[in-house]
């Protein structure tokens, strides 16, 4: 089993790259964004709670996110591995993920960060917002709040995973195939 955490700021291409990586490596893709949207569209209690934070441009609290993720992992225990997209976002979430995976006899094998300039990513999100209908992609101020949250809460994960020898940074600018190749080069070293 191989478990990979893919992270980067909103608009960095995590979802796009996850689609390629899950197929290539037969991984179960777990996107916290997809989990949130599922719970919101089904009007679950967790979905309503997550929406109240997203409406303010804030990250969803750890306990809500962790519960959604654990439920999703439990649904597919026989997979070849998981590709976590958008989780963990904080050190507390990373520690909770480590404990949860350890309880299953698993671990995070690597974390890969898609790196890109904020201004490039803001343009990507505003463009995506024209077709996605997502209000959080249509308001530059909300996007900047999301980036501030990322810088304060998620960026410290680089040190957390670097100390474990599990952190890898990949240039997230270029065409999709180039970025996929860069990511695959990292993942291939894990097997």
For the annotated catalytic residues, the residue numbers are: 14, 89, 128, 134, 146
> Residue 3 is inside which H or E element, if any?
strand 2-7
Spatial CA neighbour of 127 closest among 5, 4, 31, 11: 11
Separation in Å, CA 183 to CA 103, 170, 173:
28, 7, 12
Omega prior to 163 cis, within 30 of 0 = no
Q: What's the CA gap between 9 and 162, in Å, rounded? A: 18
């Amino acid at each position: 089993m191989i478990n990979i955490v893919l992270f980067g700021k909103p608009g960095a291409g995590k979802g796009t790259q996850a689609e390629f990586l899950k197929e290539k490596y037969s991984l179960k893709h777990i996107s916290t964004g997809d989990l949130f949207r599922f719970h919101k569209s089904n009007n679950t209690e967790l979905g309503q709670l997550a929406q109240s934070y997203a409406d303010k441009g804030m990250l969803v609290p750890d306990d809500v996110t962790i519960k959604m993720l654990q439920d999703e992992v439990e649904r597919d225990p026989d997979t070849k591995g998981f590709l976590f997209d958008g989780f963990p976002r904080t050190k507390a979430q990373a520690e909770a993920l480590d404990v949860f995976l350890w309880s299953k006899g698993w671990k995070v094998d690597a974390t890969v960060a898609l790196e890109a300039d904020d201004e490039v990513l803001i343009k990507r999100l505003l463009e995506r917002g024209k077709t996605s209908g997502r209000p959080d992609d249509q308001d530059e101020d909300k996007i900047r709040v999301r980036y501030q949250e990322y810088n304060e809460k998620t960026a410290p994960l680089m040190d957390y995973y670097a100390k474990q020898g599990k952190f890898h940074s990949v240039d997230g600018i270029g065409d999709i195939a180039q970025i996929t190749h860069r990511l695959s080069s990292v993942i291939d070293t894990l097997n």
